Chain A
Amino acid sequence: MIRRLTSFRPQPATWLALSWLALLVGVALLVPWLPLPYAPATPDLQHIATPPDWTSASPAHYLGTDSLGRDVLAGLLAGAQRLVLLTLPAVALATLVGALTGAAAGFWGNRQLRLPMATAGWALAAAWWALSLPSKAVLWLLVCVSLLLTLLAWRTARRGASYRRRYTFALPLDSLVLGATTLLGSVPRLILLVALAAGPPPTSVQFIGLLALLAWPEAARLVRGRMLWVRVQPFIEAARASGLPMGRIWWHHALPHACRPLLAFAPLSLAGLMGLESSLAFLGIGQGPDVVSWGSQLATLRHDSTAWWVAVFPGLGLLFTLLALQKTAAFARKNTDK
């Protein structure tokens, strides 16, 4: 697949899109070392709502200031940093979780994955202990039963395959994953994000977690659907017939094929999360007053519609980024479909 990607010649528009994205990520990572005269959130009270000034040799603010006197250029860079550092890890996490859960659900379904009964006992005992539920006697009973089941499973496992299934239960993986995606899909993503971020402003780790929580169901559904097709292909059957363990078949043979559509899906997912993050900042929810992002810069236009220079740069930046991601997704789709 890698060779195919490198041998393909992207169009000029795709090159433009990729270089814009590279520039954005580069700027976002380099912001702490850039020599900026102003901090993004500190107001310069002598220059309030000044338009950009490119005529004088050494202007105070290259891109002007907003109605609170904050430097637009510094805010633009800080917003790019916030956008990239929040959405990129979130999309990586969501894609990883979605790929693993979706692939497992599609591959094993509701009946195929059989776990030894003892694991359920041990898990129950561990949960009982961790939550410190009342009555120590129940805990000891659970531990004893689990021990007994482990011994039984160990004894019967040596007698052959027909005994091996006796002390096992089927984990309904498919129902669990589908149920979780239904639960998260029952409310539109922005509404759910607004509701979850309505408390005190989340820290960046919490915010990444929130975004990943909203984004993984789509990836999981995509991979699950693909896996339903992959698992009935002849090469999986051949792998089974040759006696490979199921886990190995899943990891080495089925998973790479089922994850192929993610290459085109991840840029679109990233674009969706960027839109969500800036919409939330635009609405002024889940973000402290001292944090500057592209959404909050665009929101200043609501109070002062004459200060176009505050909004034009983040607006165009966001638009270019999203279009570039769409172009990248189309490029990736063209290549993976071959």
Chain B
Amino acid sequence: MLRWLLARLGRAAGAAWLIASLVFIGSRQLPGGPEQLALADASDLSRPATGTRATATQQAARQAVRQRLGLALPVFYVTRVAGHWHWHGPANQYHRWAVAALHGDLGVSYRDGQPVAVLLAQALRYTLPLAASAAGLATGLALALALYLARAPDSWGPRLLLSLLAGLQITPLFLLALSLLLLFANPEFLNLLPAENEAPAGGSSGQQAAYWLARTALPLLSLVLAVLPELTLPLVAGLRHEATTGYATTARAKGLTIRQLLRHHALPNAVIPLLTTLTDLLPALVVGTLVVEVLFALPGSGRLLAEAAAAHDYTLVVAGVLLSAMARLLGLLLADVLYFLVDPRLRSAA
């Protein structure tokens, strides 16, 4: 059992590393090199290319930048130059990136020269609380909602709720968050919650906390609503199925109410298939923060990644890919541990 778990995690980790490597190597194959795109805007403004001398200086400056960022090295252990293969040994970009990444050093951003690890750590201070509270809230809400919907009478109210959830399931998060923004943070309509304001400069810590609470309310709501259907709908179906089984009939005959039956007997069985969905919850939240933080102007890791991608800042993009892969690994691990805790049959097998 443990060996199987370890093999599964190992495969997932290997796949994550491979895809990050592919993105890294792919970014180095872009015409003109990755740093040209990132620096193009600045150089276009400052140095209008007039005459050969200007281009010569430009060439020299470009070469200096490439040297500084370590892009003058060959990309991989083996490269093909003019139809011939060359072996470079460890003096190549991929080897240096891999070794540094394994030591926790993810490189330097092309745009402002700051270490990516520092940028990510700063951004995660905002993103982690947001994602964690969204995960907790969504799970709790899904449990309560599913327990209600599973025993609700077949009337228009619960049916409307179910079709609303089904509609939410297919709506992209950005559309949902945008409509929430338009409805609740619009100066012309309903300005309940400030979406984009400066933090109160000299406020006390209580004021600061109240400000951030008001500001993260809408992003949090969008994230919860985005992952809620995936958690609730299968659980409702599972609970309804469990309520038709033999042990459920026995429990009812014994005199339990439907509520007690669902909560104490059906839920532990219905929750088992849901744990796989829980694996996808963390990656879904990573994607969610990408959209939500851009829209609500929160300084988190999702916005960092989106802006890096828009500005072709590839060190940050590759680090973001690694980070989201890590979130998925964490989700896998969490789901496996939960399986182990919830399902006694697995424990006896191990």
User: Which residues of A line the B interface, CB within 8 A?
Assistant: 131-134, 179, 182-192, 194-200, 268, 271, 275-276, 278-279, 282-285, 295, 298, 301-302, 305-306, 308, 311, 315, 318-319, 322-323, 325-326
Contact = CB atoms under 8 A, between A and B. Distances in A.
B203 interface: no
A133 B170 contact: no
B64 to A, nearest CB: 23
Q: Which of B15, B19, B27, B174 has the most CB of A within 10 A?
A: B174
Given A191-B290, A282-B291, A200 B16 contact: no
A172 B228 CA distance: 39
B30 A199 contact: yes
A298 B178 contact: yes
A67 to B, nearest CB: 15
A315 B178 contact: yes
Nearest to A325: B170
Interface stretch (B93-101, B279-287, B340-348): B279-287
Interface stretch (B129-137, B246-254, B313-321): B313-321
Q: Interface SS of chain A: helix, strand, loop or mixed?
A: helix
B336 to A, nearest CB: 16
A318 B175 contact: yes
Interface of B: 11-12, 15-16, 18-19, 23, 26-27, 30-31, 34, 37, 80, 83-85, 166-167, 169-175, 178-179, 181-182, 186-188, 283-284, 286-287, 290-291, 294-295, 305-306, 308-310, 312, 314, 317-318, 320-321, 324-325, 328
B286 A188 contact: yes
A21 B27 CA distance: 37
Contact of A192 (B19, B167, B169, B172): B19
A325 B166 CA distance: 12
A182 B34 CA distance: 28
A318 B328 CA distance: 29
Given A194-B317, A195-B318, A195-B321, A315 B188 contact: no
Nearest to A308: B182
B19 A186 contact: yes
B134 to A, nearest CB: 15
A309 B212 CA distance: 30
Residue of A184, A197, A282, A302 with highest tally of chain B CB at under 10 A: A282
Contacts of A196: 23, 26
A156 to B, nearest CB: 37
A305 B181 contact: yes
A186 B178 CA distance: 28
Contacts of A301: 178, 181-182
A177 to B, nearest CB: 14
Nearest to B186: A305
Contacts of B18: 183, 186
A279 B294 CA distance: 11
A268 B166 CA distance: 12
A210 to B, nearest CB: 12
9 contacts: A183-B19, A185-B15, A187-B283, A198-B312, A198-B317, A199-B37, A200-B37, A275-B172, A322-B170
Given A132-B83, A186-B19, 16 more contacts: A186-B328, A187-B19, A187-B321, A188-B328, A191-B305, A192-B19, A192-B321, A278-B175, A295-B174, A302-B294, A305-B188, A319-B171, A322-B172, A323-B167, A325-B170, A326-B169
A186 B12 contact: yes
A283 B295 CA distance: 9
A183 B15 contact: yes
Contact of B324 (A183, A187, A197): A187
B324 A188 contact: yes
B290 A283 contact: yes
B277 to A, nearest CB: 14
A319 B171 CA distance: 7
A186 B37 contact: no
A311 B182 contact: yes
A326 B294 CA distance: 27
Contacts of B23: 195-196
A229 B129 CA distance: 44
B287 A283 contact: no
A38 B142 CA distance: 48
Contacts of A311: 178, 182
A279 B306 contact: no
A326 B291 contact: no
A302 B324 contact: no
A284 B174 CA distance: 13
B295 A186 contact: no
Contacts of A325: 170
A315 B179 contact: yes
Contacts of B310: 198, 283-285
Contacts of B295: 302
A51 B266 CA distance: 55
A187 B16 CA distance: 7
Contacts of B283: 187-188, 191
A186 B306 contact: no
Nearest to A194: B309
A95 B312 CA distance: 31
A319 B320 CA distance: 29
A302 B178 CA distance: 9
Among A134, A190, A301, A311: residue with most chain B CB under 10 A: A190
A329 to B, nearest CB: 9
A258 B38 CA distance: 47
Q: Nearest 8 pairs between A and B by C-beta? A: A275-B172, A198-B309, A186-B15, A188-B283, A186-B16, A191-B324, A188-B287, A190-B287
A197 B30 CA distance: 11
A17 to B, nearest CB: 12
Contacts of A283: 174, 290-291, 294, 306, 309-310
Contacts of A285: 306, 309-310
A323 B26 CA distance: 36
Given A186-B15, A186-B19, A315-B179, A191 B318 contact: no
A182 B84 CA distance: 34
Contacts of B181: 301, 305
Contact of B290 (A183, A190, A284): A190
A198 B182 contact: no
